[in-house]
Structure 1
């Protein structure tokens, strides 16, 4: 179920939000700690004012007045908070009421009122710093008979997320709410049903940029983009790994394609700071395939049982799919190579170049994306200058590709403009500089465009970077990273689709 956390300051505004999202949600949580003081008297009447939900039946509501120690916005005293909870429960319209674990033993009056009203207790615990070692006990319904246990915890990284998924996957099937907050835990919100949680929480979009908890998205995105209600134990899970990752447009692209092809699959972003932990997680969920972005395009290669020639040639991998049922049976591809070349060849034709061979290019950066770019350009017969802030890393890239004699390496600093003058037919920017939220940065602030260059920035958020804007203003032909993104994403999607169709085919 999708549960919308209502965080507006007035009951009337919360009702407007319910009307806006009613087609996407199955349950509501009224966060009364966000309400203005003058709104609280009508709290008991709120459930009866609600429109029907997706099923046509009244939407069940959780009443929550979250204390500040648990991440809430309550500024009054504790006795006043309990009286407000009591006032709401005695109104009789709330299906659930959220009571923190630390209230146990001192909440007899609330428990009595809830029993009289037919309201079920959700017994919650929150950790905004870690995934606690006692997570299994927090989610054990045996520790709170007749109540629904809830744990909202915060993985600090991939190892914590692995601990979270391993713990909840081992629990017996019973009603519970398990939430991994923040960007590191985002995937668990989309995969909540797979992980045994009775619901996932969402927040309204653009309520003064406030969300009820770290990692919330709006219900329409959860329902339409991720097709939350269609995800089952049989759904194939794909994703994109990187750090940072929440800016990625890959979920929008691949989930749209899955929906158009009516495939039982979902594509989720995973913020990964530990590749080892991620591949263990991939076996637990399990994950069928992933796109790979900064900074993991080389780190994933040690997990590959098979490598496409594009991976071997570029020394980097941006697509990993299962190559068999055995644990660790992964095959790697590099769709960056054809994805990079397709828009470049279109730009070269627009510039009147009969071919790329013999042209001279500057490549900025020496990471995983740069490897695919350098490999692709060398295969086209171009002469290259490779710029990187760490010169040794640029030399290592050239050596790894067997191109030490064919690639000139130099340090990326204010003096690099002189080097670039001789390699300025094409300039390719492969670093993350200029990517949102750092969209005002320019990786080549010292370089003055002549207007004769083709300038290619592989960053695609924003589609027009500061570098490309300067190049366009100077009269250059420019290539946005969005074009490369779409070309390489299409190649990835065809691999994912082939795998999913093969897995869903009837076995003879």
Structure 2
């Protein structure tokens, strides 16, 4: 399939020896990179002429040669004249690109006047490891770099907030010269994934087992297999998961693979968001077509929607936002409720005797929810609608009391839950993040207390087998994994994202089984 964009995918080579770099170079070629960046400053006992001849003479891909000084985030601490002479030597030996810092580029350019090999292009770079400047300052920086005679402009800044990335996207879209514009850090990660969508000249991606050359750099295999960045174009719709943290989520694998399987032109990314209102205000263009919402933003995000689905309004929390194409308004939905309750009901059918086929196995039974946040609200509301009697247990008794009041249930503190003795055939549902990766040893309730429940559900799905579920199974309870909820709520999200009447259920189940 022909790529939908011209953005190049570059794999930095970071190693102490030429031999290791050559191995990495071949790995990059096999893995699908378009070019490599040879980081000379990471080499030990570097011998310029001999080593450059080996590296450039045996390269299977075009190469950028970078010799980054410590004062610009690299490892080289020697004389700058020696360093710049080495970069010129790399040009003479056939390097496709040379990366030179803005601070010294005038000296470099004056030294190579009328001697620059026609094949080599000069990337003039500027790095800011503290902040991302304003759009106006970034525009001035582009003009300054362009005025040096650069073939390609490169600007790399630090993301203090995910909203900083929007300023770089603005510069990429409006720049009239080839430009590399990327943000460092986890909050800048989407700049690296979405730069093909906004016209960036290249983006960097780390090879498996190789040290990252910049903070926040994604893996090459993920860029190609999960995010399918070759097919990003100016009309690709952008979706993503709003939350903090988000690194544990498998949603990009499921949604991107599903989009690809049905030919829907979209990408799903992770959005590490501190302030929901600020994020939605900044990313207000139709390019950003919809979002999943996770901890801790499910309740706050609801306040910033223009309209709410009736179920979401009743629950008081959302996990899905759609930007309506006709007028750009944000519409909030809650698919957690459907996902969790249907997953629990599915496991319970056949376990208990029912009066009729239409009756929910939750009807008349005690349903204990741990947590009073957005997910807890969804579970309590859904179980109440099915005829269950509700108890809310939370670290803060006051919050538990508020939610219990909304659903006509009882409240208790989480510490009191340890000694609570529910009636037979009761259900326990954990809506908190306790036990989620990386803190996989956590559990919201003791193993001894779990003996009193017939069914135990955990919303956490990373890992699939949480400590809570393992211990519940060991004491004889029927367990319901958060993976099933994750999948079922995603069916409805896919329908909302794509405006489709029915999700490709079997395709999505297969993706979860094989990839997640």
Q: Under a length normalisation based on structure 2, what TM-score does the superposition of the two structures give?
A: 0.87
1:56 aligns with none
Three-state SS of the structure 1 residue aligned to 2:154 is strand
SS at match of 1:290: strand
After TM superposition, list the pairs within 5 Å mapping 1:26-105 onto structure 2. Answer: 26-37=34-45, 41-51=50-60, 59-91=61-93, 93-105=94-106
* Gaps in structure 2 of 5+ consecutive residues: 1-7, 355-360, 503-516
The corresponding residue for 1:341 is: 341
Answering whether residue 375 of structure 2 is matched by residue 369 of structure 1, we say yes
Residues 222, 228 of structure 1: 8 Å contact kept = yes
Structure 2 residue aligned with 1:152: 156
8 A contact 2:276–2:300 mirrored in 1: yes
Could you list the per-position Cα deviations for residues 423-454 of structure 1 after superposition, in whole angstroms to 9, with x for gaps in the alignment?
Answer: 87211111111111121222224753217531
1:332 equivalenced with 2:328 (yes/no): no
Shift of 1:198: 0.5
Q: Which residue does the alignment assign to 1:389?
A: 395
Q: 1:311 touches 1:332 (CA, 8 Å); kept in 2? A: yes
**More divergent stretch after superposition (281-290 vs 215-224):** 281-290
Gaps of 5+ in 1: 52-58, 502-508
Q: Cα offset for 1:268?
A: 1.3
Q: Say which SS state the counterpart of residue 419 (structure 2) adopts.
A: helix
Residues 177, 438 of structure 1: CA spacing in aligned structure 2 closer, same or farther, 3 A cutoff? same
Report if aligned partners of 2:9, 2:34 keep a CA contact under 8 Å in 1.
Answer: yes
Counterpart in the other structure of 1:417? 418
> What is the total number of aligned residue pairs between the two structures?
484
User: Residues of 2 paired with 1:423 and 1:244: CA distance?
Assistant: 37
Give runs of aligned pairs for residues 260-339 of structure 1, distance below 5 A: 260-284=261-285, 286-327=287-328, 329-339=329-339
Does the Cα contact within 8 Å between 1:247 and 1:461 map onto a contact in 2? yes
- Aligned to 1:194, the other structure's residue is in SS state helix
Query: Equivalents in 2 of 1:445, 1:106: separation in Å?
Result: 68
Tell whether the 8 Å contact from 1:238 to 1:288 is kept in structure 2 after alignment.
Answer: yes
The answer to whether residue 27 in structure 2 is matched with residue 24 in structure 1 is no
Asked if the contact 2:286/2:325 (under 8 Å) is kept, the reply is no
Contact 2:16 2:44 survives alignment (8 Å): yes
The one of 142, 145, 151 equivalent to 1:139 is 142
**Cα distance in 1, alignment partners of residues 424 and 13 from structure 2:** 57
The 1-side partners of 2:456 and 2:187 are apart by 34
Instruction: Go from structure 1 to structure 2 and tell me whether the alpha carbon gap of 1:421 and 1:128 turns closer, same or farther (over 3 Å shift).
Output: farther
Task: Give the structure 2 partner of residue 173 of structure 1.
Answer: 176
Secondary structure of 2:369 counterpart: strand
Structure 2: distance between partners of 1:393 and 1:49: 65
Cα 1:48–1:449 change in 2 (3 A) is same
Which residue pairs with 1:4 in the alignment? Answer: 11
Return the offset for 1:159. 3.6
Within 5 A, what are the aligned runs for 1:332-481?
A: 332-349=332-349, 351-354=351-354, 355-399=361-405, 402-403=406-407, 406-413=408-415, 415-419=416-420, 421=422, 425-445=426-446, 447-450=448-451, 452-481=453-482
Q: How much does 1:117 deviate?
A: 6.0
Which deviates more from structure 2 when the two are superposed, residues 65-74 or residues 186-195? 65-74
Q: 1:420 to 1:166 in 2, by over 3 A?
A: farther
CA distance in 1, matches of 2:501, 2:271: 20
Seen in structure 2, the aligned counterparts of structure 1 residues 243 and 285 have a Cα distance that, compared at 3 Å, is farther
Alignment partner for residue 13 of structure 1, among 3, 16, 20? Answer: 20
Q: Distance in 1 between matches of 2:501 and 2:192?
A: 23
User: Take 2:275 and 2:200, find their aligned partners in 1: how far apart are those partners?
Assistant: 25
Say whether 1:498 aligns with 2:506: no
Measure the CA separation in 1 of the matches of 2:115 and 2:130.
31
Report which stretch shifted further, 251-260 or 171-180.
Answer: 171-180
Q: Which moved more, 1:36-45 or 1:273-282?
A: 36-45
| 1:348 CA drift (Å) | 1.1
CA distance in 2, matches of 1:315, 1:199: 43
Contact kept in structure 1, 2:37 and 2:64, CA below 8 Å: yes
Q: Distance in 2 between matches of 1:420 and 1:148?
A: 69
SS of alignment partner, residue 195 of structure 2: coil
Q: For the residues of structure 2 that align with 1:353 and 1:206, how far apart are their CA atoms? A: 54
RMSD: 2.5
Q: Is the CA contact 2:169–2:195 (under 8 Å) kept in the aligned structure 1?
A: no
Aligned to 2:206: 203
CA distance in 2, matches of 1:110, 1:13: 32
Distance 2:107 2:55 in 1: 27
SS at the partner of 1:475? coil
